[in-house]
Amino acid sequence: MDRLSPLLHQWIAPLAAVAVLYGAFQWAASAAFGIALNSGAIWADLALHLGLGALLLAMSRNRLTFLLLMTAIMALLHIGNAIKLSVLGGPLMPDDTLALRSLLLLLKGWWLTLAVGFLVLLAVALGLALNFRPRRARAAAGALAALVAAIACWPEQVVKVMDDSFGNVVWNQHGNYLSRGPLVHLLQESARYAARGDSAPSLAKVAEAAQSLQPLVHMAVLTGDTDPVAAAIAPDVKRNVHVILLESFWDPSVLTEADFSQDPFDPEFRALWDASGNSRGLVPVFGGYTANSEFEALCGFPVTQDWVFFEARLRNASPCLPRTLSEAGYTTLVSHPNVAAFWNRVNAYDRAGFNLYWSAKDFRLDDMNGEFLSDASLYRQVLSKIDPLLETGTPTFNYILTFFGHLEYPLNDDRPVVVKARAADADPVVERYANTVYYKSRELMEFLKELRRKDPDAVVVMFGDHLPFLGGNLESYAKSGVLAQDRARFDDRMFRDQYSTPLIVIDGRKGPVELGSVPLYRVPSIVLSLLGEPQPSVMDMTRMPQGLVVRPLPGMNVVLAPDGTVAACRGLATDSEVCGEARDWLNAVSTVGADLFWGRQHVLRDDLVPARPEGRQSADLAI
């Protein structure tokens, strides 16, 4: 017994405490956020926790500081993942480290307090706990370093072993997390991150991809099949372009179980959207990550991975829509009344080609909903800023990113509740969101009237960036049958609808254009076509295979076929025939995009943009 006592106190009791903490954090994640691991995932994940615990215990000064350190690490792993899963639908990923500052700025209230508390606790615990002087501590540190080195040196082998053991469904990271547990998931995805590498595509690979896309760039010219909507003016007439990205803007009227007292959309907006044929933008994200929708709408290429493109991959000065128009003589402006550096926008906007960026410091914060400047004030101030350009006839690309519409959907006293959610079990956040949409659509229409009065020939583009967060685990959507709570139970339509927001394009005096469902990465080419752009741009290289509409998502594609059917391409043997064509096209597009935005830009330097056939000009809308 005397021999067992030191072992009990030094090792068994502290590691038993880790097991208790594991159970406590899993209970908290389930009770507070509805995130419960599959029972089969617990034992391997707990064993990995205990292995990490043994190494950290060997490196700790004493048992108390060890428990503090393990509590901090496990809180971050278990509760941090539960928060992100509940809000954004996916777990923590290695790429999130690149966007940590913005992710913290995104959180509000007690969520922000929790996140900051985790990080502070972790930093303090590391400082207090670790001591590398004892021989056992150096041996444990060496073992941990060897594990990291093995992942870094042989990531493909690690990924294969772990995928075989724990599975991997790229399009269902929520399910991956539940079937792995937090530490297994982190190790598995870290190995995948290392295996992915960061090598830029070679000239030969880019040339091959560009060549395969060439027939699609000028399909309307080559086939003689032009779109019924044509450019209305000659290329030498420079109409202004106004693009308005509406934060979390979506049609909540489909939430029938909420039993709204009236249509959440302003009647004039509803009529305008109806006149556009209820066109929809197919966006790359759900619940957040606005910057990815921005990237697509500005730069004309799809986001295909679970990362924030502004933070991770937009590294080069690129031929995005703002730069293309700037080189054609336009003044290019962006307005967003938030912290300028959020989502790396200072660098991203510069690389996309904007001449001027107006952020929070450039606006009077005079009409606030909580901490968010109202759309009405933003529009009024932007119009005042661009008035001199409109009066002098200076060609202008005016991009507005609204801020009002973020969680928790606050309203000030001048914006009382108008829309009631009469269902007894409706989540309060649903009613707050419905009223947010009411005021956003109303203030948009008031601005649009004034804008079109001042600039009647302009091209105006308006769209929502993503669907809103309406309570944990998609419950409010599931009640009305819009989505299922478990992504593994989505039908093909749900994958489309989870990434569809209102899209309105106004062609000057001609009015709204009927576009159907359009991925956001096609917006720049639509704008250039309406302006009468006579030559193809790099962004035309994302023209989709004839008759198909392709919405790439991490690990899958959603394809809309000409007959109106929707195919969710999950990489399974049962996938639709259109999935193979979409996959091959996307591989070529992704290669060109990697070269443009973070590679060596062979497509520009080696003149790989397909030239328009001699003597032919296309006036098609090039969706």
Neighbours of 136 (CB within 10 A): 10
What are the tens digits of pLDDT across the range 236-277? 568 999 999 999 999 999 999 999 999 999 999 999 999 999
Condensed to tens digits (0 to 9), the pLDDT of residues 614-623 reads 433 333 454 5
pLDDT of residue 220: 37
CA 537 to the chain's CA centroid: 25
| Residue 98: exposure state from Cβ atoms within 10 A (0-12, 13-18, ≥19) | middle
Q: What is the pLDDT of residue 122?
A: 77
pTM for this model (two decimals): 0.83
More reliable by pLDDT, 83 or 104: 83
Nearest to 70 by CA among 82, 84, 60, 81: 60
pLDDT of 228 reads 33
pLDDT digits (tens, 9 = 90+) for 347-376: 999 999 999 999 999 999 999 999 999 999
Which strands form 517-519's sheet, in the order they lie side by side?
A: 356-358, 331-335, 396-401, 241-246, 459-464, 500-507, 280-282, 517-519
> How far apart, in whole angstroms, are the C-alpha atoms of residue 236 and residue 214?
26
pLDDT of res. 97: 76
Whether residue 217 is predicted with pLDDT greater than 80 in this model: the reply is no
On the question of a cis peptide bond just before residue 408, with omega within 30 degrees of 0, the verdict is yes
Count Cβ atoms below 10 Å from residue 267 Cβ, excluding itself. Answer: 12
Nearest to 382 by CA among 406, 398, 366, 396: 398
Give CATH for domain 203-605.
3.40.720.10
Instruction: Give the pLDDT mean for 497-526.
Output: 96
pLDDT digits over 405-450, tens only?
988 899 999 999 999 999 998 899 999 999 999 999 999 999 999 9
310 vs 461, more confident: 461
Structure-model confidence comparison of residues 285 and 12, the more confident one: 285
**pLDDT classification of 295: cutoffs 50, 70, 90:** very high
The pLDDT assigned to 211 comes to 87
Instruction: Note the helical H segments in 372-474.
Output: 375-392, 428-454
Query: Binning pLDDT at 50, 70 and 90, where does residue 535 land?
Result: low
**Could you state, in order of their start, the residue ranges of all structural domains in the chain?**
4-196, 203-605
| DSSP code of residue 613 | P
